[in-house]
Chain A
Amino acid sequence: MKVMPCPLNGPRNISEFAYGGEVEELPAPDCGEDTWIDYVYLENNTAGIVREWWYHTPTAYWFIAERDTRTDDILKTYPASDIYKDRVDFSAPPPAEAPGETS
């Protein structure tokens, strides 16, 4: 059995985990169509060491793993908070004035 070292629960059978794809930067909302298409559809699909999201299903815990896709060796796992330290600012920008409208 393949064992995944979960940062929260310790070593567990890989069947307890779900794969969540490569770690990618979320593009800015106004980045343009090509960047969004790249983000949604296109894959790096790297043959080598990649940084990926993994999910421990029984404890609903997302974390990050570094894995070599050529050998399937899990090199390192750590909590997502290790790389995502900043809080996302969800406060709404001031509404733009509709064209032609006068206040």
Chain B
Amino acid sequence: MPFGLLKFGLSRGHPVPRVLPPATDLKDSYDIVIVGGGGHGLATAYYLARDHGITNVAVLDKGYIGGGNTGRNTTIIRSNYLTPEGVKFYDESVNLYQDLANDFDMNLMYSKRGHYTLAHTDGALRTMRWRAEVNKHFGINSELVLRDELRKMVPQLNYSEDVRYPILGALYHEPGAIARHDAVAWGYGVGAAKRGVEIHQNTEVTGFDITPANGSAPKITGVKTTRGTIKAGKVLQAVAGMSGEVAKMAGFKLPIKTVPLQACVSQPLKPFLDAIVVSGSLHVYVSQSARGELVMGGSTDPYGVYQTRSTLDFKEGLMMHMLELLPFIGEVKLLRQWAGMTDMTPDFAPIMGETPVDNYYIDAGWGTWGFKATPVCGKRNAEMLATGRVPDIIAPFALQRYHDFKLVGEKGAASVGH
């Protein structure tokens, strides 16, 4: 038997299946170059190929696909936002997510849990009511639940009044879900590659060829990389963390501050928490993964760092609040910790669409809310790149809004305390 196993392992009849096609050389020119091989970039490539038949596309990533913030978030999907623009946008994403596993023929471990945003003050209750009403207006299932009702729905939490921030109620958002984030990136990547899109990993963008602005608007013509320069018809910047630095290479500034957001998981526990629980006041969001780990995140760091390091301060703060919410987890150990880089904008809404450079489009400013928007961004970016027109649903998120003073004030719907 051991010999049989060894023979099987060494035989050439069972090669390791490749998920992505082997790396090739870069071509001289592409119709569309996507900078950034995270969820958003890969989703854009996928929908360009699937819905618009555009496959002369290169996705460039300086590391490996899904190795940035796509693999560093806490995988929560929801649409209970505050502004009409945000609610409509994220609702489309939630709807797309529900069919994604079928699209990919891959298990994304999409799991609808119900999302509870806790209110610990009268002011927070008022914002939850506001959000519930805006949501309901657009046909989204959100409801304000008060303390006694909430206690029946999520009995695991500590409802004591002898804590710093007693729970007064919550915004209950029934479609709230979690999904496996790596699978989302891989599903889009494999789907795009299968249809002819080239995905180039370990290919860092070092600059852009832009025709000089002789009175008219500057125009992008090529992308310089560590593996040579390529001509590009259109370019989409879909990076996170380095959005400001990449935009500077293209010659413009962004209203983005890059700040780490730290997260961690506990050792696996028996399933006991089926809800996603979030508290902006306590700087906590927690859900239990399919493996039984408690996935926990906190607030963003108080100042900008281009690093994915963890700090003791963060974990002390987060654990203090976790123990207030779920006192019985005192003996539970932490298993892993990490940080992602979040691109924070002044109005907590993303930056999408056209830029001061012709044919150079942007998908940035994803702060702490990027994972849930992956499908809608991919779909609408693809539509924009294919038709040259900015779709209505993403038009409010234009970079130009800072010049026109039309900010999309979404801070009240952020799950993270800031």
Chain A 14-33, CB-CB to B under 8 Å as 1, else 0, gives: 11001100000000000001
A90 cross-chain contacts in B, Cβ below 8 A: none
Residue A83 CB within 8 A of the other chain: no
Using known A-B contacts A2-B311, A43-B244, A45-B254, determine if residue A18 contacts B302 with beta carbons closer than 8 Å: yes
Interfacial residues of chain A within 16-65, with CB under 8 A of chain B in the complex? 18-19, 33-34, 37-38, 41-47, 52
Chain B 226-260, CB-CB to A under 8 Å as 1, else 0, gives: 00000000000000001011000000011111100
For the complex, would chain A's binding face be called helix, strand, loop or mixed by DSSP majority?
loop
Pick from A1, A41, A45, A52: contact of B402, CB under 8 Å: A41
CA distance A47 to B307 in the complex (A): 10
Residue B312 CB within 8 A of the other chain: yes
Residue A87 CB within 8 A of the other chain: no
> Are B402 and A69 in touch, CB under 8 angstroms?
no
> Are A37 and B305 in touch, CB under 8 angstroms?
no
Chain A 59-77, CB-CB to B under 8 Å as 1, else 0, gives: 0000000000111100000
Residue B313 CB within 8 A of the other chain: yes
Residue B7 CB within 8 A of the other chain: no
> Are A72 and B402 in touch, CB under 8 angstroms?
no
Interfacial residues of chain B within 275-316, with CB under 8 A of chain A in the complex? 302-307, 309, 311-313
How many chain A residues touch B (CB < 8 A): the figure is 22
> Are B306 and A69 in touch, CB under 8 angstroms?
yes
B307 cross-chain contacts in A, Cβ below 8 A: 70-72
> Are A19 and B302 in touch, CB under 8 angstroms?
yes
CA distance A19 to B300 in the complex (A): 13
Closest to A52 in B: B303
A2 cross-chain contacts in B, Cβ below 8 A: 311, 313
Query: How many cross-chain pairs have Cβ atoms below 8 Å apart between A and B?
Result: 54
Pick from A43, A70, A71: contact of B256, CB under 8 Å: A43
> Are A72 and B305 in touch, CB under 8 angstroms?
yes
CA distance A2 to B316 in the complex (A): 14
> Are A45 and B346 in touch, CB under 8 angstroms?
no
Residue B403 CB within 8 A of the other chain: yes
How many chain B residues touch A (CB < 8 A): the figure is 22
Closest to A70 in B: B306
CA distance A43 to B313 in the complex (A): 27
A47 cross-chain contacts in B, Cβ below 8 A: 242, 244-245, 258, 306
A59 CB → nearest B CB, Å: 18
CA distance A42 to B346 in the complex (A): 9
CA distance A15 to B312 in the complex (A): 12
Pick from A14, A34, A41: contact of B255, CB under 8 Å: A41
Closest to B311 in A: A2
Interface centre among A1, A41, A44 (most CB of B within 10 A): A41
> Are A37 and B402 in touch, CB under 8 angstroms?
yes
Closest to B402 in A: A41
> Are A41 and B346 in touch, CB under 8 angstroms?
yes
A18 cross-chain contacts in B, Cβ below 8 A: 302
A43 cross-chain contacts in B, Cβ below 8 A: 244, 253-257
A34 cross-chain contacts in B, Cβ below 8 A: 403
A16 CB → nearest B CB, Å: 12
CA distance A98 to B255 in the complex (A): 38
Chain A positions within 8 Å of B, measured between CB atoms, are 1-2, 14-15, 18-19, 33-34, 37-38, 41-47, 52, 69-72
Which 5 pairs, one residue from A and one from B, show the smallest C-beta to C-beta distance? A45-B244, A19-B303, A42-B253, A41-B255, A41-B402
List, sorted by A's number, 6 A–B pairs whose CB atoms are closer than 8 Å. Answer: A37-B403, A42-B253, A45-B245, A45-B256, A47-B242, A52-B303
**A14-B313, A45-B244 known; 14 other A-B pairs, CB under 8 Å?**
A1-B313, A19-B302, A34-B403, A37-B403, A42-B253, A42-B255, A42-B402, A43-B257, A45-B258, A47-B258, A69-B304, A69-B305, A72-B307, A72-B309
